[in-house]
Chains A and B, each alone.
Chain A
Amino acid sequence: EAQVTQNPRYLITVTGKKLTVTCSQNMNHEYMSWYRQDPGLGLRQIYYSMNVEVTDKGDVPEGYKVSRKEKRNFPLILESPSPNQTSLYFCASSLLDRGTGELFFGEGSRLTVL
């Protein structure tokens, strides 16, 4: 089954404790990206990657890091989480070379930083 898998789905952590949210897709998509969803703000792009070793900032990259060492994986790293990073996070992937280029989303990861 074609899918984007995120882990963990739910996480409660404390300020300053480094964490990683993993994202993996099995569709051989070149493009992967991370979003955060906050009430009243919709989804905002954090980082994106056009291919392996190619990453760039989205609209709200502060406090986040990413890496793309393999095509299928695109982890989101919070080096020192703060309460304002409490949010619902989505990973998504897309095929670049044909089709509509729509995003395929993971199920979301709800993060609470105390």
Chain B
Amino acid sequence: AQKITQTQPGMFVQEKEAVTLDCTYDTSDQSYGLFWYKQPSSGEMIFLIYQGSYDEQNATEGRYSLNFQKARKSANLVISASQLGDSAMYFCAMREGGWTGNQFYFGTGTSLTVIP
């Protein structure tokens, strides 16, 4: 079974609108971490946001928020007020065993295009 599933290969959003990128995960661990990374066309991997499995509040970082629904095992990324510079590939990832865990799992990514 896939550890991380991103079901949206490509998404389009109008500039200044909000967009949600879906991510579901599969783990039997109680302690784990969920991450979102952005990969622009230049290729580098940029860390966006983190959610720990014990965190009760949804994580937020500027225009990024993580909609964490533990019972559903989902960790969707919400980007508010989209900008042209948000056009990129977005990867959801999980680290089992919390911050001391040794295995990282990535989804297949969602390509986001922001339309002017």
| A interface, CB within 8 angstroms of B | 31, 33, 35, 40-45, 48, 50, 56, 58-59, 88, 90, 92, 94, 96-105, 107-108
**B35 x A44 contact (CB < 8 A):** no
Binds A, one of B14-22, B68-76, B77-85, B93-101: B93-101
Q: Which residues of A are found within 8 Å of B50, using beta-carbon distances?
A: 100, 102
Q: Check if B107 sits within 8 Å of A101, measured CB to CB.
A: no
CB pair A40–B33 under 8 Å, yes or no, is no
> Contact mask B45-70 → A, CB, 8 Å, 1/0?
10100101000000000000000000
Known contacts A43-B93, A103-B104, then 19 further A-B pairs from the complex at CB < 8 Å, ordered by chain A residue: A31-B102, A41-B108, A42-B109, A43-B91, A45-B104, A48-B103, A96-B100, A97-B100, A100-B33, A100-B50, A100-B52, A100-B99, A101-B33, A102-B33, A102-B50, A105-B44, A107-B44, A108-B44, A108-B45
Name the distance in Å between B50's Cβ and chain A's nearest Cβ.
4
Chain B interface (Cβ within 8 Å of chain A)?
Answer: 4, 6, 33, 35, 37, 43-45, 47, 50, 52, 91, 93, 95, 98-109
**Minimum CB distance partner of A41 in chain B:** B108
A42 and B102 in contact (CB under 8 A), knowing A100-B50, A105-B44? Answer: no
Q: Are A45 and B103 in contact (CB under 8 A)?
A: yes
